[in-house]
Structure 1
């Protein structure tokens, strides 16, 4: 029987679903090392620059209003101004936050538009139960992308996140899940036998794509085996109820629950890569002083009352993050110096610089924790006054995470941030 590329894809059925592909492992760090974790927090509209960036450069800076909740972390964070992806401003480009690349331009770059968090997740692979975890309280801001250029959607319900991370399967559910994994594995074998007929009439370009696809299949088979192993291991227990016992459940309660679950997932090594998003459509009106939509506050015309509401929303975001980082800092790493925060790379930012002007330049970025020798506030412009490619910072974060690379998409080098 003559097969076509479409026939092969159709023949796979549901066996090659993206969650399985996202667990591929390329390289495993030494098991004797304390694991490095990565937490990225993003928003869709950037930050009001006058309230985000310090006036002074260096370590002796005055913490600006939006970052006031993080003043306790002042000596362990680096705020970077004048860095971006060198894109024409406007909505739709902020999705390049963690890749530096728009999907339409992805084919020209080695990692395509794969986001930094998913590159890290691929590196971790099956060493943990979940290579990455993404969460939000509404539709995603499109900052997380797989190697296949597919958006990785966040979990938007705290209870669903709880079930995903901590709810153990019953014996019957485990048996059903194992049967599904075994069936998927046998389907892979069946699909693999069809490639000979496909290759007979394939073009050179299709042969290369098929070769890549076969490589993915082989790696997927290994990941299926790993998932069967994880199936028999109970998840750690975690109690979420304390966040939802107050008379009124607020947005703060919900985000605190999300961050607490991620901190606990880090502590129990369920995952080492997590992303949290503050979506555009989320209602912030239960925050003191906020009466308008998030997007409406960005179009403030420099009116003082609207700017104050926008800054209240942005400060709320750093408050929630600050609470999480205090929790990480309170957890001592077993058999290692420092706290969990010292071994967790924390990245905060956006693919948009400032929503009030739809600017995609001068992105609001800071890095905390991670065991770096932090530099306070850094003006990243070069001697000619050009902004630094944000991907230069990503090269540095990759290297700290254990990925031996000296480039990432639009990078021109690495950002200087030494290990402590």
Structure 2
């Protein structure tokens, strides 16, 4: 008899919990390109102060407001999308839908459930990398990234642990232990696959649908085991981060410089092609010039000029750290291809909340850069009736950019067109 409980316990928890949702269908991906395509998502929990994020002017001839002014050097390769969101009621708790447009409790109605776009892209481009994706949020996670089972992916919250994961080689004893564990897990997976096949033969049509997602999880785990076995005996690239932690107190700037530099180097050495970096709602920004209050407190500013200035300083800092990383990517030639690494890396900054001061989930602050896209500058994405564009329209366009043959993604109505700035 298929012992579901013992299998889940053997593999360490609920990663393969039997789904209650309907099956998910993956579109057929196009053949992989020789040159890597990458995705970097940077998100925060509280959105952005609108007057300091969105330019006043539309089109390509716009002035960058204070929050995004650090991207001035990149102005010809960015798209700023006004009036786009997931059409959700305002309030905390809905920001977790940022990268899918779907809340967990409403996911059954959608083909991809609430799987986030970074994970869909990772399945497309991560097969030949050591890590399919990389996640960091130095503090409590804002839960941006979700797998096919509707489970949020836990990010690295500590710089040292992230460094060890990416760049610290295993000792020979640790490699031997890893090989043994992989062999044991492979044997367990073989046994489960055989028993699962028997369960599926006897299942009703309704149960067959519910079991599809579980079968997908088995296949994903099998691929993961094969990939881990391939890499266990290969040394990792080396990276020296000591310059960030010498001679002075550790600051939030040092920490995020280290995180972004690790991501840039992981891209450069092809450790991964997908990364998600979050700014925790609990981060202390008092190291940033002009900030004396907590992040959440600054969002509830009552339009007090001093408090708004602190909030804008925090949001400007967030974009500045990303901009620094993008400059590194732009200064690095793409191996075996024309252009820079940034030209082959799609970068998106944004949030699942529009503005924390009002708990609004409308008009999300969304900015896309790089990736070789034909960028449109600042665009008003509303349709002719004045309705905000579903953010999933942008996600559909990005999935298609990565070679995924999707005609719809969750709440999308059409693919966003970077040339026209409309869907």
Match for residue 4 of structure 2? 8
Deviation at 1:227, TM superposition (A): 1.6
Match for residue 302 of structure 1? 303
Supply the distance in 1 between the matched residues of 2:324 and 2:44 (Cα, whole angstroms).
17
Match for residue 222 of structure 2? 221
After superposition, the C-alpha distances for 1:75-102 in whole angstroms (9 at most, x for unaligned) are 1101000000001111111111000011
The alignment yields a C-alpha RMSD, in angstroms, of 2.1
Compared CA separation, residues 306 and 242, structure 1 to 2 (3 A): same
Compared CA separation, residues 150 and 384, structure 1 to 2 (3 A): same
Match for residue 175 of structure 2? 174
Match for residue 266 of structure 2? 265
**Are 2:148 and 1:147 equivalent residues in the alignment?**
yes
Deviation at 1:399, TM superposition (A): 1.4
Deviation at 1:17, TM superposition (A): 6.3
Compared CA separation, residues 163 and 52, structure 1 to 2 (3 A): same
Supply the distance in 2 between the matched residues of 1:20 and 1:35 (Cα, whole angstroms).
30
Alignment of 1:318-333 (within 5 A): 318-333=319-334
Alignment check: 8 A CA contact 1:47 1:364 kept: yes
**Are 2:361 and 1:397 equivalent residues in the alignment?**
no
After superposition, the C-alpha distances for 1:384-411 in whole angstroms (9 at most, x for unaligned) are 1000000101111111122121221100
Match for residue 256 of structure 2? 255
Name the SS for the 2:231 alignment partner: helix
Compared CA separation, residues 182 and 245, structure 1 to 2 (3 A): same
Deviation at 1:212, TM superposition (A): 4.1
Gap runs ≥5 in structure 2: 18-25
Compared CA separation, residues 389 and 200, structure 1 to 2 (3 A): closer
Compared CA separation, residues 76 and 18, structure 1 to 2 (3 A): farther
Deviation at 1:225, TM superposition (A): 2.0
- Which segment drifts farther, 366-375 or 224-233? 224-233
Alignment check: 8 A CA contact 1:54 1:63 kept: yes
Match for residue 41 of structure 2? 40
Alignment check: 8 A CA contact 1:20 1:223 kept: no
Alignment of 1:8-407 (within 5 A): 8-15=4-11, 30=31, 33-195=34-196, 198-199=199-200, 202-407=203-408
User: Structure 2 length normalisation: TM-score?
Assistant: 0.93
Deviation at 1:30, TM superposition (A): 4.8
After superposition, the C-alpha distances for 1:98-122 in whole angstroms (9 at most, x for unaligned) are 0001111001011111111111112
Alignment check: 8 A CA contact 1:26 1:122 kept: no
Compared CA separation, residues 354 and 222, structure 1 to 2 (3 A): closer
Alignment check: 8 A CA contact 2:41 2:276 kept: yes
Supply the distance in 1 between the matched residues of 2:85 and 2:152 (Cα, whole angstroms).
21
Deviation at 1:199, TM superposition (A): 4.8
Compared CA separation, residues 200 and 41, structure 1 to 2 (3 A): closer
Supply the distance in 2 between the matched residues of 1:309 and 1:245 (Cα, whole angstroms).
28
After superposition, the C-alpha distances for 1:22-76 in whole angstroms (9 at most, x for unaligned) are xxx9977656521110000000000000010000000000111101111111111
Supply the distance in 1 between the matched residues of 2:401 and 2:14 (Cα, whole angstroms).
27
